[in-house]
Amino acid sequence: MSSLGDERRPLEAPTRVGSESRAGARADAPPLYAALDLGTNNCRLLVARPAGAATPSGAEGLRIIDAYSRIVRLGEGLSQSGRLGEPAIQRTLEALDICRDKMDRRGVTRARLIATEACRAASNGAEFVARVYEETGLKLEIIDRETEARLAAVGCGSLADPQAAGVLLFDIGGGSTEIVWLAPDRARQQGVRAVTIWTSIDLGVVSLAERFGGQHVDDDTFEAMVEAFEDRLAPFVEKAMAQRACGRFHLLGTSGTITTVAGIHLDLSRYDRRRVDGLWMSSDQADDAVERLRAMSYDQRAANGCIGHERADLVLAGCAILEAIRRAFPAPRIRIADRGLREGILVEMMRADRLAAGEGA
């Protein structure tokens, strides 16, 4: 992988970069924002600007300019060794190099670059962040679990049914799973949601698949994965007992697991974000899609256009986490979000800039 030269100005989190120094920027161009989310499994970049004059209240307020995603498996083997391995680091540096080039070419003026569970948990996480800065000029910010949960809520919250008394948002990641209870915020405008309780569980699709195996998952193994997650979820379930009694309740899911379930439900030959983001699924439809996934062999999952060989050994672990959440919080409907941390980062940066400019919240 080629290193980026010292002449490049480091992109910090969050930071402003003078547009005159960026390759693709014009002095009179509107500000361009970037959000990078480096997780246990994926490296994702989103470049956007506000869609209109109003302050964005969610992903609908973003005009996407560029996007990039690569499965890097940064957390591969982390649950056994406690460290980020060199092959995973090299894959990730290559992806980050591409992200830096994209931001340069687009002329990004404001960015926030976050790292989540793999860097939080690894004994060499801070060492890795320093190496990323040295080799790419990108300054990653390792965020805590509460920040991760809040950003997911900001990124996905606008998909909550405004008439619902309660919404359970879940984000099934590679190394951790964030779960957030959203309730109507009576102090703000209609449709705005407030986080009332949340949790972050240090089990995700990578860590669960490494523990139980992901290629060949029989009924007993699947149930063992469900029970393992249920044990970790139990304290949150107890805390949420009062909220669970609310009426007009639904689930709101974000992550590769739930979008894959949606793709299977829609019989997509290739994944299509436009058909998945915002989709409503009934409980029966979710059951059917998960059963179809569980009935597939590893080779069939690898050949499926909504899964692919890079995720074929992870998707059933995600389905087990989804099953545990649905057992604890039975709901007639699930809304699917193909949005999350990156959109939350972008919305927060744009709101902050409007406030700083005196344009209101």
Reported as a single tens digit per residue, the pLDDT across 212-264 is 999 999 999 999 999 999 999 999 999 988 766 566 889 999 999 999 999 99
Neighbours of 178 (CB within 10 A): 28
CATH superfamily of 15-143: ATPase, nucleotide binding domain (3.30.420.40)
The yes/no answer on whether domain 146-341 falls in CATH 3.30.420.150 is yes
Instruction: Give the helix ranges, DSSP H, for the chain.
Output: 78-81, 86-106, 117-121, 125-136, 145-156, 205-212, 219-239, 241-244, 256-265, 273-276, 283-295, 298-303, 315-328, 341-356
Distances (CA, A) of 27 to 20, 129, 220, 350: 6, 32, 61, 19
Residues of the chain with pLDDT > 70, as a percent, come to 86
Reported as a single tens digit per residue, the pLDDT across 18-39 is 333 344 455 566 789 999 999 9
Task: Assess whether the region 15-143 and the region 146-341 belong to the same CATH fold.
Answer: yes
pTM of the predicted protein model: 0.87
Domain boundaries, the chain: 15-143, 146-341
Reported as a single tens digit per residue, the pLDDT across 166-220 is 899 999 999 999 999 998 766 454 445 778 899 999 999 999 999 999 999 999 9
Say yes or no to pLDDT of 14 above 90.
no
Side chain identity, residue 109: T
pLDDT number for residue 274 = 94
Tell me how far apart the alpha carbons of residues 16 and 9 are, in angstroms, rounded to a whole number.
Answer: 11
Tell me how far apart the alpha carbons of residues 315 and 220 are, in angstroms, rounded to a whole number.
Answer: 16
Side chain identity, residue 177: T
- Give residue for tokens 């669960």: 208
Residues of the chain with pLDDT > 90, as a percent, come to 76
